[in-house]
Structure 1
Amino acid sequence: MAFLLRVELPDVPGSLGALATALGEAGADIEAIEIVEHRSDGFAVDDVLLELPPTVMPDALITACHRLEGVHVHWISRYTAGANLSMDLEAVEAFTDEPDLAIERLVEVIPATFRTDWAMAIGPGEDGAALLFGSPTAPRLVPECDDWLSTGAAGSLPELPAWDSTVLAGAPGETRNGLGFLVVVGRHGGPEFLPSEIARLGHMVSLAASVQTEGD
Structure 2
Amino acid sequence: MLLRLRVSLPDRPGSLGQVARTLGVVGADIVQVVVLERVGGRAVDDFAVVWPAAAPVDRVLAGLAVIPGVRVDGAWRTTELPDPSAREVAIVGQIAANPAYGLSTLVDAAPGVCAADWAAVLSVPRDWASVGGLAPDVLCASLRAPEVPQIPDIAPLRPRAMSAGGGTHLAVAPFHRGGLVLAVARGRADGDGDGEPGLYPPPFHRSEVDRLAQFVDAVAVVLGDRLTDVTRVAA
For this structure pair, what is the TM-score category when the shorter chain's length is used for normalisation?
0.7 to 0.9
Identical-pair percentage: 30
Residue 211 of structure 1: how far off its partner (Å):
1.7
2:221 alignment partner, SS class: helix
Residue 117 of structure 1: how far off its partner (Å):
0.8
Distance in 2 of aligned mates of 1:16 and 1:146:
36
Question: Where in structure 2 are the equivalents of 1:123-138 lying within 5 Å?
Answer: 123-124=123-124, 129-138=136-145
Residue 156 of structure 2 corresponds to: 151
TM-score with structure 1 setting the length: 0.81
| Structure 2, unpaired ranges of 5+ | 126-133, 188-192, 194-200, 228-235
Question: Where in structure 2 are the equivalents of 1:188-203 lying within 5 Å?
Answer: 188=187, 189=193, 190-203=201-214
Q: Is contact 2:118–2:185 with CA below 8 Å preserved after alignment?
A: yes
Question: Where in structure 2 are the equivalents of 1:51-90 lying within 5 Å?
Answer: 51-53=50-52, 56-79=55-78, 81-82=79-80, 84-90=81-87
Aligned residues: 204
Distance in 2 of aligned mates of 1:152 and 1:57:
40
Distance verdict in 2 for CA 1:131–1:170, change over 3 Å: same
Residue 145 of structure 1: how far off its partner (Å):
4.9
Residue 146 of structure 1: how far off its partner (Å):
9.4
Q: Say what the alpha-carbon RMSD is for the aligned residues.
A: 2.5
Residue 86 of structure 1: how far off its partner (Å):
3.7
Residue 128 of structure 1: how far off its partner (Å):
6.9
Distance in 1 of aligned mates of 2:66 and 2:31:
22
Residue 96 of structure 1: how far off its partner (Å):
2.9
Residue 25 of structure 1 corresponds to: 25
TM-score with structure 2 setting the length: 0.75
Q: Deviations over 1:65-121 (max 9, x none)?
A: 122221111111233x23x33434312321233322444333222211211110111
Q: Is contact 1:6–1:48 with CA below 8 Å preserved after alignment?
A: yes
Does 2:148 align with 1:141?
Answer: yes
Which has a greater percent of strand?
Answer: 1
Q: Is contact 1:86–1:112 with CA below 8 Å preserved after alignment?
A: no
Distance in 2 of aligned mates of 1:55 and 1:129:
39
